[in-house]
């Protein structure tokens, strides 16, 4: 069985219910959701509420499109039918024709058109309340009924004769004319504080056709009496807006006078409730099923080591850890994490040790291995609780890699890959021990089509002579979930002493010994190591360029 459209279901209920349906005014999707939660029959896209929420008068200042957009928003956000206040239909019969096509196509269940002149003014506003002629308005109603494509859509005619002071006879005459012109129901509007005017009208009307009421000024008319009088639907048109304005005044007063929110925290809705209403949890479930864009990557940045640098940098590092070295006005670790974030990775753990208290992050968390950081880098990595989760990017704390390189690096089907660079400028390798790499099938051509040639690692470490090396290890390892499993297997074979003393290169070598394939990803540019004052000067000119 196919499900009825909202308009079809609403029409059925409107004409068959034994008691008046109740719809409630709103001006946005959230309002419609709350109304639905409380079990009402529908939402009223109120012209008063929508215009007030824009901060403008209820006098056709806004355009049809603006009202329609809000109505659509309410309709999409909720499962209840939306009945729309379309004022006078935004012009003459041609405007009404177009309006009905638009509202019906948007899935709106019903529109209520009033018999005033465009531009209208809210019915409760003293002063001009000009009525259209009966003839003209009947033409609009006929245009509306002719424009609808399905039989389900409801066109309700709103009689403003009592509002405009034209008297009961005129109101009854108009209601009858509109019924004959094809209106599905009549809304008889009154601004009287007593319900007598409405009682008189309804008694004289004698249930000739369905009736809608807006009991804003006559709240004393009970639901039971309205039921007896044969009312089909009532509209609580603006009470939610008025309630929210009062509530906002209250909290604003408290916040302004006490400069605190402590006393109101328990009275206001929680952020969790907002999340619930806007469907945040549903979105998360949806993402689990369908979002395949980015795999979660846990980034581990070992930055615990006691520095052994030379020159002016050594002086600076007596007072702070490498991670907090200033690179053109920002700590190195912030620059690293910024690139990692831009590359789409948000789950970051920085392992701190030496002067770890000084490591302050803007995003990401820290994990400390103690001030002395006596063990190797592998120990730092393994000490992160549940660190080897999802996919893992291990990123040395003293290299900066461009976000473009990072993004390409993790886009791989290889379970484990490491970032390498061709051998660098002369003399670089004289000063300290480097982890060189040798590849199983080295690219011999100096020109290659691939931006980042991928290859297989044959050997890695300081024991490879420079002359035989195909490149150097940059300090980044990426493991996809399969790679993480392989990592854990090899980890189980380590002796406790190895777990403590190993460098990352030692562990990668161990993987090779266990015949775990390690792929290499070559970068020729877009990375820098921060080891000397010269490195920092170079980076500063890059960042300030």
Residues 278-317 as b/e (b if ≥16 CB within 10 A, e otherwise) read eeeeeeeeeeeeeeeeeeebbbbbbbbbebebeeebeebb
C-beta closer to Mg ion: residue 130 or 326: 130
Task: Kindly state the smallest distance separating residue 156's Cβ from ligand SPV, in Å.
Answer: 12
**Part of the chain binding Mg ion (CB under 5 A), chosen from 78-86, 271-279, 292-300, 398-406:** 78-86
Task: Kindly state the smallest distance separating residue 46's Cβ from Mg ion, in Å.
Answer: 6
Q: Respond yes or no on whether the N-terminal peptide bond of residue 119 is cis (omega within 30° of 0).
A: yes
29 binds Mg ion (CB under 5 A): no
* Dihedral, CA of residue 135, residue 140, residue 5 and residue 290, to nearest 10: -160
C-beta closer to Mg ion: residue 66 or 408: 66
Q: How many CA atoms lie within 13 A of 60 on its CB side?
A: 14
Q: How many CA atoms lie within 13 A of 35 on its CB side?
A: 33
Nearest alpha carbon to residue 424 among 292, 281, 534: 534
What is the C-alpha separation between 211 and 227, in angstroms, rounded? 11
Contact string 97-136 vs Mg ion (x = CB under 5 A): ----------------------------------------
Backbone angles phi, psi at 285, to 5 degrees: -60, -40
C-beta closer to Mg ion: residue 110 or 336: 110
Take residue 544 and report the two structure tokens written for it: 């300030």
- Torsion sign over Cα 478, 482, 488, 491: negative
What is the three-class DSSP state of 395? strand
Find tokens 């009307």 and name the residue. Answer: 205
Task: Kindly state the smallest distance separating residue 163's Cβ from Mg ion, in Å.
Answer: 11
> Of 85, 160, 472, 529, which one interacts with Mg ion (CB under 5 A)?
85
C-beta closer to ligand SPV: residue 48 or 171: 48
Contact string 361-400 vs Mg ion (x = CB under 5 A): ----------------------------------------
Task: Kindly state the smallest distance separating residue 50's Cβ from ligand SPV, in Å.
Answer: 8
- Among residues 58, 115, 414, 435, the one annotated as catalytic is 58
**Part of the chain binding Mg ion (CB under 5 A), chosen from 64-72, 83-91, 373-381, 435-443:** 83-91
Task: Kindly state the smallest distance separating residue 147's Cβ from ligand SPV, in Å.
Answer: 21
Contacts with 445 (C-beta within 8 Å, 6 or more apart), sequence order = none
What is the DSSP annotation of 221-239?
S-HHHHHHTT--EEEE-SH
**Part of the chain binding Mg ion (CB under 5 A), chosen from 39-47, 190-198, 250-258, 520-528:** 39-47
C-beta closer to ligand SPV: residue 216 or 455: 216
C-beta closer to ligand SPV: residue 187 or 401: 187
Task: Kindly state the smallest distance separating residue 32's Cβ from ligand SPV, in Å.
Answer: 14
CA distances from 168 to 39, 187, 188, 322 (A): 35, 14, 11, 86
Backbone angles phi, psi at 330, to 5 degrees: -140, 145
Q: Which partner in ligand SPV, Mg ion, none is near 20 (CB below 5 to 8 A by kind)?
A: none
Backbone angles phi, psi at 150, to 5 degrees: -110, 165
Task: Kindly state the smallest distance separating residue 48's Cβ from ligand SPV, in Å.
Answer: 3
Take residue 45 and report the two structure tokens written for it: 């896209």
Nearest alpha carbon to residue 213 among 20, 480, 461: 20
Find tokens 């309709």 and name the residue. Answer: 75
Site for Mg ion in 47-66 (CB under 5 A): 47
Q: Using CB under 6 A as the criterion, which residues of the chain lie in contact with ligand SPV when the complex forms?
A: 25, 46-48, 58, 85, 122-123, 214, 216, 237-238
Contacts with 106 (C-beta within 8 Å, 6 or more apart), sequence order = 68, 71, 72, 75
Q: Is 459 a catalytic residue?
A: no
C-beta closer to ligand SPV: residue 234 or 313: 234
Task: Kindly state the smallest distance separating residue 122's Cβ from ligand SPV, in Å.
Answer: 5
C-beta closer to ligand SPV: residue 113 or 401: 113
Take residue 109 and report the two structure tokens written for it: 């269940």
Contacts with Mg ion, residue ranges (CB under 5 A): 47, 85
Q: Which residues are catalytic?
A: 58
């Amino acid at each position: 069985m196919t499900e009825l459209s909202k308009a079809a279901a609403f029409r059925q209920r409107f004409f068959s219910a034994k008691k008046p349906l109740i719809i409630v005014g709103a001006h946005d999707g959230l309002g419609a959701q709350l109304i639905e939660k409380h079990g009402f029959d529908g939402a009223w896209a109120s012209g008063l509420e929508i215009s007030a929420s824009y901060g403008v008068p209820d006098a056709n200042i806004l355009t049809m499109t603006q009202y329609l957009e809000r109505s659509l928003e309410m309709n999409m956000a909720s499962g209840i039918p939306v009945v729309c206040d379309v004022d006078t239909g935004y012009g003459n019969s041609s405007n009404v024709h177009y309006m009905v096509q638009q509202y019906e196509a948007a899935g709106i269940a019903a529109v209520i058109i009033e018999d005033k002149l465009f531009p209208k003014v809210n019915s409760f506003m003293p002063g001009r309340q000009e009525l259209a002629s009966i003839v003209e308005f009947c033409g609009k109603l006929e245009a509306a009924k002719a424009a609808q494509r399905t039989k389900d859509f409801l066109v309700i005619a709103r009689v403003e004769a009592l509002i405009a002071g034209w008297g009961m006879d005129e109101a009854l005459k108009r209601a009858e004319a509109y019924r004959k012109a094809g209106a599905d129901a009549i809304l008889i509007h009154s601004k009287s504080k007593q319900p007598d005017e409405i009682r008189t009208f309804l008694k004289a009307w004698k249930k000739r056709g369905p009736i809608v009421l807006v009991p804003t000024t006559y709240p004393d008319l009970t639901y039971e009496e309205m039921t007896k009088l044969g009312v089909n639907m009532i509209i609580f048109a603006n009470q939610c807006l008025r309630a929210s304005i009062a509530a906002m005044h209250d909290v604003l007063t408290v916040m302004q006078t006490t400069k605190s929110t402590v006393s109101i925290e328990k009275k206001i809705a929680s952020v969790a409730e907002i999340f619930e209403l806007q469907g945040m949890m549903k979105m998360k479930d949806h993402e689990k099923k369908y979002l395949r864009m980015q795999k979660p990557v846990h980034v581990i940045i070992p930055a615990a080591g006691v520095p052994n640098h030379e020159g002016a940098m050594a002086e600076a590092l007596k007072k702070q850890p490498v991670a907090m070295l200033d690179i053109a006005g920002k700590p190195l670790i912030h620059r690293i994490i910024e690139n990692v974030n831009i590359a789409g990775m948000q789950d970051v753990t920085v392992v701190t040790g030496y002067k770890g208290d000084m490591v302050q992050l803007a995003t990401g968390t820290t994990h400390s291995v103690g001030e002395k950081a006596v063990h190797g880098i592998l120990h730092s990595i393994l000490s992160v609780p549940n660190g080897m989760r999802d996919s893992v990017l291990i990123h040395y704390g003293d290299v900066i890699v461009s976000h473009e390189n990072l993004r390409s690096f993790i886009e791989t089907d290889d379970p484990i890959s490491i970032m390498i660079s061709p051998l660098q400028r002369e003399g670089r390798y004289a000063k300290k021990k480097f982890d060189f790499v040798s590849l199983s099938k080295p690219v011999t051509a100096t020109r290659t089509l691939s931006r980042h040639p991928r290859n297989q690692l044959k050997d890695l470490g300081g024991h490879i002579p420079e002359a035989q090396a195909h490149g150097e290890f940059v300090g980044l390892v990426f493991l996809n979930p399969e790679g993480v499993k392989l990592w854990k297997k090899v980890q189980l074979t380590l002796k406790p002493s190895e777990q403590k003393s190993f460098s990352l290169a030692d562990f990668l070598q161990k993987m090779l010994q266990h015949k775990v394939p390690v792929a290499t990803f070559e970068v020729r540019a877009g990375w820098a190591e921060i080891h000397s004052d010269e490195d920092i000067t170079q980076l500063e000119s890059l960042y300030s360029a």
